[in-house]
């Protein structure tokens, strides 16, 4: 699946999301639980603002010296016998990986969850040459079995499905005969995937953080699937977004602490693994061959722009878990593998405004995302900056809005015009009024009043009242 | 103490009661209120929609309007936060940056002004009944004013405050999102407030 | 033998260009960070405080917790093994079994001791084992995490493939949090030591909340986890 997950119009996707009551319930309850856990984890740690500032400091330092740290990483991976491939585009990355695998005459590939492999459309590329590609994260596996349903959340990809739906999918595709209990569903998958782990030729992982000083790859899971993916197959291929690295183990530790608390409210997740090169001499398990694929795919063009801070992201999804818009429309409405506030900032940058120009408007700018971000990305401000680009550079704003805002610019800067307009407001609005409420507003007010009644302009504006009062008129 | 009121365009046009109450409250606390006629809007609607150029026109107007004010007080945390953002917007602008900074420095949201500047925590109000308080997104997260409203409400005689579950969650009212796209935030606001099933009178 | 590096030059030059400066490939050192909250966590905790913290955290990560000493550890381990449903067992080739008075385990009939010369047979044994037993190299009190270093005698699979994982924790290995473990690994690097190809930070059994956010314990790795603290080691 490439970054774009739907060709439907944004408005239609949102409408579909809004009317999917199960999904909305699932999303809101997941949001509440994740949000609650995060707050507890953050409180326990103490000095959270200092932790966030430290996280920000580390990420900013790495981004401004990115070429240095990538060079150091590559050198150290190679010193330990690993192969490094720098891929400028998604095609280069997936093409290289395909070639490595085909050369090995491999049949089966096991994968642990990785958003960047979704971004480079890796599974489709590998399946096209007849490879058996198995996702091993439970959520990803469920989606894969369900005819490649797109993920709706970057940490919990199958968040939009309930256990009954999963049971039915398993019955149809996996000859499953038990109930919808999560324990039973999970045990069934464990049995199937255990065989896949043992028989796979190649293991593919993403990368939470690479460590430049040692050439290590850090992987964070609860299921332990990344460990089996890297311990058993003979070849390991790790794919990383080029910004996902830290200088040393000291900074790795800080970012892992921020990640696990922010993502799932855990002090640490069950499995945190630092892998360095292929297996050592005489080791029995671990890969004989290790490839690291470092992917640009549009990231370098974000560097040096007002959007650079988005590359600080550590993919914890805390912003998604507090977003009121995500809560209402669900992940699929975004039409991108990256949903929520981070997706709305990142998708237009990586995938272009043509496909994702609506996403920056999928926000109330309530700034809950900015507040939740463990590395202090000013997400709401970046969303607003996108709007600025859409209006000023891309010229994609609707004509009526442009006219309204031009009028705003003139009106709000000119008291005379403003006064005239505001005098007109009560009578201009009168056809839409019921008592003191506008319930069927015209033009841009229409969408607003379809969901919320808007107070009608009063007969007497505040300024008139104030003036009368100064003149000695009675306060009303 | 002389206070220059920034009423905000929404209050001026749609919710004049809020403006009137602000004036009466501040006068009761001994302030002398000035309301410069040339004030209009902080520029946020255009700014948040991406029309920075247009919004700057409004902002310059506000900077001029409030140039002589000692304290600017507004009954909107959101608009106050917008004023505080001006220096960022005019950064590097020789003519406006300093003026923007001076405007930002003397801007206060109403409850913040009462608690932090006037050092008053009890405004002497009485209201019998129960109420809950839903925090404002921009006031808490952008302006960083979290305590002042709760402090003032806690001293209102006869008023019993009931905490609102998930008070930090956005009501869905604000923003360009609903204007531009969909019809659902009503569903969401209604649901948000459906939890307020508190017996007694609700404000 | 060194691995290969492809397309590095153009890739890094492009980054430098976008950052608006000449490429940098040397001379950057990690700055002294302005914020240092990590040293504050459990700063004044005594070794006993750390054990208490570890014990408390074990409850939250679905991990059984025992405290014993080197005299009683064999007895404790035998009981744990019985409770977990007995063998087959798989253990690393590690002198500490003898040093800790655990020779008894080596002689169990159902035990496989990791033997790198036996190759894949080790993995088959791990796959069919009920219990894998490891020694924690470092133990993080805050998160109830054990740390394992792989080598030819300490296969990765021992802690991943069996149904249960028992980890022996010498009390002296307990540190406040991951901060101290990271520092220890960095000092290895500074001394020019080669770090193990696999360093595991393992916290309790494997689990997932991917179905309706309901926690299921035991997904791909072990279903049960037990820690045994040895007080005098």
CATH number at residue B95: 3.40.50
> What is the total count of domains within chain B?
2
CA–CA dist C1, B191 (Å, integer): 63
Give B19-45 pLDDT, tens digit per residue: 999 999 999 999 999 999 999 899 998
Q: What is the pLDDT of residue A435?
A: 53
Q: Please, which pLDDT band fits residue C97 given cuts at 50, 70 and 90?
A: very high
Nearest to residue A457, comparing CAs of B22, B36, B43, B10? B10
Three-class DSSP category at A384:
helix
Distance from CA of A304 to the nearest CA of C (A): 5
- The answer to whether C23 contacts A67, with C-beta atoms less than 8 Å apart, is yes
Residue of B48, B184, B193 to mutate when probing chain A, most A C-beta within 10 A: B184
Domain limits, chain A? 10-295, 399-470
Contacts of A93 in chain C (CB under 8 A): none
Burial of A361 (0-12, 13-18, 19+ CB in 10 A): buried
- The answer to whether B183 contacts A451, with C-beta atoms less than 8 Å apart, is yes
Which of B54, B89, B116 corresponds to the end of one domain? B116
- The answer to whether A392 contacts B174, with C-beta atoms less than 8 Å apart, is no
Q: What is the pLDDT of residue B203?
A: 41
Nearest to residue B19, comparing CAs of A419, A454, A462, A422? A462
* Domain co-membership, B130 together with B94: no
What residue ranges of chain B have pLDDT lower than 50?
A: 182-186, 190-203
Q: Which residue of chain B is at minimal alpha-carbon distance from A366?
A: B137
CA–CA dist B173, A257 (Å, integer): 35
Contacts of B176 in chain A (CB under 8 A): 361, 365, 387
Q: Is A434 on the interface with C (CB under 8 A)?
A: no
* Domain co-membership, B38 together with B109: yes
ipTM for the complex? 0.97
Q: Is C15 on the interface with A (CB under 8 A)?
A: yes
Q: Please, which pLDDT band fits residue C227 given cuts at 50, 70 and 90?
A: very high
Q: Is C189 on the interface with A (CB under 8 A)?
A: yes
Contacts of A184 in chain C (CB under 8 A): none
CA–CA dist A391, B52 (Å, integer): 9
* Domain co-membership, B14 together with B52: yes
Q: B138 in a domain, yes or no?
A: yes
Contacts of A447 in chain B (CB under 8 A): 178-183
Q: Which of C8, C179, C202 sits opposite A253 (nearest CB)?
A: C179
CB atoms within 10 A of CB B173: 17
- The answer to whether B176 contacts A457, with C-beta atoms less than 8 Å apart, is no
Q: Which residue of chain A is at minimal alpha-carbon distance from C2?
A: A81
Q: Is A307 on the interface with C (CB under 8 A)?
A: no
Q: A-contacting residues of B 72-131, CB under 8 Å? A: none
Give A100-156 pLDDT, tens digit per residue: 999 999 999 999 999 999 999 999 999 999 999 999 999 999 999 999 999 999 999
* Domain co-membership, B109 together with B125: no
CATH of A10-295 given 3.90.226.10, 3.30.230.10, 3.40.50.10420, 2.60.40.1120 = 3.40.50.10420
H-helix or E-strand spanning residue C67: strand C63-68
CB atoms within 10 A of CB A212: 27
Q: Are A27 and A158 in contact (CB under 8 A)?
A: no
Q: What is the pLDDT of residue A7?
A: 87
- The answer to whether B43 contacts A412, with C-beta atoms less than 8 Å apart, is yes
Rounded to 10 degrees, what is the CA torsion of C144, C150, C153, C158?
Answer: 50
Q: What is the pLDDT of residue A10?
A: 86
Q: Which of A367, A412, A476 sits opposite B142 (nearest CB)?
A: A367
Which of B97, B116, B135 corresponds to the end of one domain? B116
* Domain co-membership, B46 together with B73: yes
Per-residue pLDDT for C33 more than 50? yes
What residue ranges of chain A have pLDDT lower than 50?
A: 429, 431-432, 439-445, 447-452, 475-476
Q: What is the pLDDT of residue B196?
A: 40
Stretch C218-224: mean pLDDT, rounded? 93
* Domain co-membership, B99 together with B22: yes
Contacts of A224 in chain C (CB under 8 A): 160, 206, 219-222
Q: Which residue of chain B is at minimal alpha-carbon distance from A324?
A: B170
The percent of residues above 70 in pLDDT, for chain A, comes to: 88
Which of B87, B116, B145 corresponds to the end of one domain? B116
Provide the residue range defining the domain that includes B186. 121-194
Nearest to residue A268, comparing CAs of A222, A223, A319? A222
Q: Which of A367, A413, A451 sits opposite B185 (nearest CB)?
A: A451
- Please tell me the pTM assigned to this model: 0.91
Q: What is the pLDDT of residue A380?
A: 96
In A397-455, which ranges are E strands? 433-434, 437-438, 454-455
The half-sphere exposure of A381 on its side-chain side, counting CA atoms within 13 A, is: 18
Report the side by side order of strands in the sheet with A437-438: A433-434, A437-438, A454-455
Q: B180 in a domain, yes or no?
A: yes
Q: B174 in a domain, yes or no?
A: yes
Contacts of C6 in chain A (CB under 8 A): 83-86, 96
Q: Is C106 on the interface with A (CB under 8 A)?
A: no
CA–CA dist B163, A410 (Å, integer): 43
Domains and CATH numbers, chain C: 33-230 (3.40.50.10420)
- The answer to whether C15 contacts A80, with C-beta atoms less than 8 Å apart, is no
Q: B32 in a domain, yes or no?
A: yes
Per-residue pLDDT for C94 more than 50? yes
* Domain co-membership, B81 together with B144: no
B vs C contact (3+ beta-carbon pairs below 8 A): no
H-helix or E-strand spanning residue C113: strand C111-113
- The answer to whether B51 contacts A32, with C-beta atoms less than 8 Å apart, is no
* Domain co-membership, B91 together with B159: no
Contacts of A32 in chain B (CB under 8 A): 166
Contacts of B135 in chain A (CB under 8 A): none
Q: Which residue of chain B is at minimal alpha-carbon distance from A10?
A: B181
Q: B200 in a domain, yes or no?
A: no
* Domain co-membership, B82 together with B138: no
Q: What is the pLDDT of residue B198?
A: 38
Q: B171 in a domain, yes or no?
A: yes
Contacts of A296 in chain C (CB under 8 A): 11, 14
CA–CA dist B91, B97 (Å, integer): 5
């Amino acid at each position: 699946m490439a970054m774009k997950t739907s060709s439907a119009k944004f408005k239609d996707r949102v409408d579909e999301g809004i009317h999917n009551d199960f999904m909305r319930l699932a999303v809101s309850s997941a949001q509440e639980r994740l949000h609650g856990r995060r707050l507890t984890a953050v409180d326990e740690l103490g000095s959270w603002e200092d932790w966030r500032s430290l996280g920000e400091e580390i990420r900013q330092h790495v981004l401004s010296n990115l070429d240095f740290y990538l060079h150091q990483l590559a050198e150290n991976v190679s010193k330990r016998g690993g192969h490094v491939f720098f891929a400028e585009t998604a095609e280069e990355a997936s093409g290289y990986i395909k070639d490595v695998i085909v050369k090995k005459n491999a049949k089966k590939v096991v994968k642990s969850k990785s958003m960047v492999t979704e971004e480079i459309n890796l599974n489709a590329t590998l399946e096209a040459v007849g490879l058996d590609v198995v996702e091993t994260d439970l959520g990803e596996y469920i989606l894969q079995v369900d005819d490649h349903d797109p993920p709706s959340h970057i940490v919990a990809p199958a968040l939009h499905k309930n256990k009954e739906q999963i049971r039915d999918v398993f019955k149809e595709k996996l000859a499953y005969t038990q109930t919808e209990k999560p324990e039973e569903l999970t045990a069934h998958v464990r049995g199937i995937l255990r065989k896949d782990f043992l028989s796979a030729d190649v293991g593919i992982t993403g990368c939470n953080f690479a460590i430049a000083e040692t050439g290590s790859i850090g992987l964070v899971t609860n299921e332990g699937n990344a460990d089996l993916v890297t311990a058993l197959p003979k070849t390991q291929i790790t794919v990383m977004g080029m910004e996902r690295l830290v200088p040393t183990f000291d900074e790795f530790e800080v970012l892992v602490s921020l990640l696990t608390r922010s993502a799932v409210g855990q002090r640490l997740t069950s499995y945190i693994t630092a892998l360095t090169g292929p297996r050592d001499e005489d080791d029995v398990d671990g890969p004989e061959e290790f490839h690291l694929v470092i992917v640009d795919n549009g990231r370098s063009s974000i560097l040096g722009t007002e959007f650079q801070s988005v590359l600080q992201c550590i993919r914890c999804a805390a912003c998604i878990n507090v977003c009121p818009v995500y809560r209402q429309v669900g992940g699929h409405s975004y039409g991108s593998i990256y949903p929520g506030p981070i997706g709305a900032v990142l998708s237009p940058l990586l995938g272009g405004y043509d496909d994702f120009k609506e996403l920056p408007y999928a926000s109330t700018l309530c700034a809950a995302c900015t507040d939740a971000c463990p590395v202090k990305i000013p997400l709401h401000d970046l969303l607003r900056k996108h709007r600025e680009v859409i209006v000023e550079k891309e010229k994609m704003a609707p004509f009526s809005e442009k006219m309204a805002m031009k009028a705003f610019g003139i009106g709000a800067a000119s008291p005379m015009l403003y006064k005239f307009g505001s005098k007109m407001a009560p009578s201009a609005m009168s056809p839409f009024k019921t008592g003191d409420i506008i319930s069927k507003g015209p033009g841009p007010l229409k969408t607003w009043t379809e969901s919320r009644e808007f107070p009608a302009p009063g007969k007497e504006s505040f300024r008139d009242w104030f003036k009368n009062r100064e003149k000695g008129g009675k306060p009303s | 103490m002389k206070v220059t009121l920034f009423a905000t365009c929404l209050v001026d046009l749609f919710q004049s009661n809020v403006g009137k109450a602000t004036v009466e409250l501040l006068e009761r606390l001994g302030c002398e209120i000035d309301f410069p006629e040339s004030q209009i809007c902080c520029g946020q609607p255009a700014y948040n929609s991406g029309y920075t150029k247009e919004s700057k026109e409004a902002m310059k107007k506000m900077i001029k309007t409030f140039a002589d004010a000692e304290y600017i007080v507004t009954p909107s945390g959101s608009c106050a936060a917008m004023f505080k953002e001006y220096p960022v917007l005019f950064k590097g602008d020789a003519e406006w940056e300093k003026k923007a900074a001076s405007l930002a420095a003397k801007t206060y949201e109403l409850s913040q002004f009462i608690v932090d500047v006037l050092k008053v925590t009890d405004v002497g109000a009485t209201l019998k009944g129960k109420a809950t308080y839903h925090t404002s997104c921009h006031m808490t997260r952008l302006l960083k004013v979290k305590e002042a409203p709760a402090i003032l409400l806690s001293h209102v005689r006869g008023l019993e405050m009931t905490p609102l579950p998930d008070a930090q969650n956005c009501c869905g009212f604000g923003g360009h999102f609903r204007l531009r796209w969909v019809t659902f935030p009503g569903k969401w606001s209604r649901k948000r407030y459906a939890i307020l099933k508190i017996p007694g009178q609700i404000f | 033998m060194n691995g290969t590096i492809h397309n590095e030059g153009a890739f890094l030059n492009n980054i430098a260009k976008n950052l608006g400066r000449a490429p940098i490939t040397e001379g950057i050192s990690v700055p002294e960070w302005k914020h240092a909250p990590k040293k504050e966590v459990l700063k004044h905790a005594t070794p006993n405080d750390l054990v208490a913290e570890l014990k408390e955290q074990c409850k939250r990560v679905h991990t059984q917790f025992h405290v014993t000493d080197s005299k009683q550890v064999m007895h404790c381990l035998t009981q744990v093994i019985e409770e977990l449903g007995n063998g087959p067992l798989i253990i690393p080739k590690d002198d500490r079994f003898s040093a800790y008075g655990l020779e008894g385990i080596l002689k169990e009939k159902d035990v496989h001791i990791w033997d790198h010369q036996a190759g894949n047979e080790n993995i088959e044994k791990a796959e069919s084992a009920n219990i894998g037993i490891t020694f924690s190299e470092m133990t993080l009190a805050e998160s109830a995490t054990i740390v394992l270093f792989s080598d030819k005698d300490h296969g990765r699979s021992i802690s991943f493939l069996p149904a249960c994982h028992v980890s022996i924790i010498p009390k002296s290995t307990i540190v406040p949090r991951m901060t101290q473990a990271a520092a220890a690994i960095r000092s290895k690097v500074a001394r020019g030591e080669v770090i193990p190809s696999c360093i595991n930070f393992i916290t309790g059994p494997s689990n997932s909340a991917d179905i309706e956010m309901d926690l299921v314990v035991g997904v791909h790795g072990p279903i049960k986890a037990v820690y045994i603290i040895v007080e005098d080691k």
